[in-house]
């Protein structure tokens, strides 16, 4: 079944009690001219703020497609905790791959971060262009994964700004080569609970400088190790997200002890 997203303002209730959704822009063109959908066909439409609707195409208007909501899906496709990935900006197109996979794993938002060892430097215009591209990658991945919302890609920020943004999170984790052993990692990951906001901070190629590690620790982050092997920046964050996903998935139903090990 095809999957589309709509802003909350596009989902409207009518006097007859029916809920209708208007899809415009690129998705409208895709529905009408590429998919060539006919009235009566059904799709899944999710609000960008969360909430899924099984909808039937009613009609085409000059600039939009109008759908009738047949039912609201009660199944929650999101993790029971919000995970924010603060990702050190990598070289090339690695950021697109990281965003795609992070969205599939259930991340709530991704924030690109410039650190001391970041190689790529973007001016304001290039950063805005990249962000638009990254947001499109996030939406595409959210559709593929049948997410109920589209994770936001934040504005490029400094490490200092990232630490400030993460200050309100319940659990703050970052990877550092000289971190304590794997037992500390097990304990930290097992501390993730439903309802939490969790910050995961990953360095770029070359990792964090010593002063940056000290700043993260001072900001309440726990330093983690992922074992004896050195992981690339595009692998490290996804490893942590995978462990958190397995730890959190279904916790509200199963009431497990929180450990994935």
pLDDT band with cut points at 50, 70 and 90 for residue 10: confident
Query: Is 69 in the same domain as 86?
Result: no
Find, among 232, 216, 115, the residue nearest to 174 by Cα. Answer: 216
Query: Is 66 in the same domain as 142?
Result: no
> Is residue 260 a part of any domain in this protein?
no
Query: Is 99 in the same domain as 179?
Result: yes
Note down the domain range covering 205: 82-254
Query: Is 116 in the same domain as 156?
Result: yes
Query: Is 143 in the same domain as 243?
Result: yes
pLDDT confidence of residue 75: 66
Find, among 96, 13, 61, 32, the residue nearest to 2 by Cα. Answer: 32
pLDDT tens track for 48-72: 766 788 999 999 999 999 999 998 8
Q: What's the mean pLDDT when you consider all of the chain? A: 88
Alpha carbons within 13 A on the beta-carbon side of 189: 23
Query: Is 23 in the same domain as 106?
Result: no
pLDDT tens track for 131-154: 999 999 999 999 889 888 899 999
């Amino acid at each position: 079944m095809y999957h589309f997203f709509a802003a909350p303002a596009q989902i409207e209730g009518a006097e007859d009690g029916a809920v209708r959704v208007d899809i415009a822009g690129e998705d409208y063109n895709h529905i009408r001219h590429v998919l060539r959908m006919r009235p009566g066909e059904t799709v899944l439409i999710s609000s960008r703020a969360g909430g899924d609707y099984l909808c039937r195409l009613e009609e085409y208007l000059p600039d939009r497609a109008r759908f009738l909501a047949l039912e609201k899906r009660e199944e929650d496709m999101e993790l029971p905790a919000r995970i924010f990935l603060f990702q050190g900006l990598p070289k090339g197109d690695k950021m697109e791959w990281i965003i795609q996979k992070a969205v599939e794993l259930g991340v709530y938002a991704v924030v690109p971060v410039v650190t001391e060892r970041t190689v790529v430097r973007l001016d304001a215009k290039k950063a805005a262009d990249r962000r638009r591209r990254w947001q499109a990658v996030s939406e595409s991945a959210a559709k593929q994964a049948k997410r109920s919302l589209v994770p936001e890609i934040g504005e490029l920020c400094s490490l200092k700004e990232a630490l400030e943004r993460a200050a309100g999170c319940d659990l703050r984790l970052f990877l550092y080569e000289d971190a304590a052993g794997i037992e500390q990692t097990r304990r930290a990951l097992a501390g993730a609970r439903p309802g939490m906001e969790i910050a995961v901070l990953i360095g770029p190629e070359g990792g964090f400088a010593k002063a940056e590690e000290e700043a993260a620790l001072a900001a309440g982050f726990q330093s983690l190790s992922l074992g004896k092997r050195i992981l690339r920046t595009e692998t490290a964050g996804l490893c942590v997200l995978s462990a958190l996903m397995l730890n959190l998935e279904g916790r509200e139903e199963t009431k497990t002890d929180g450990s994935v090990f």
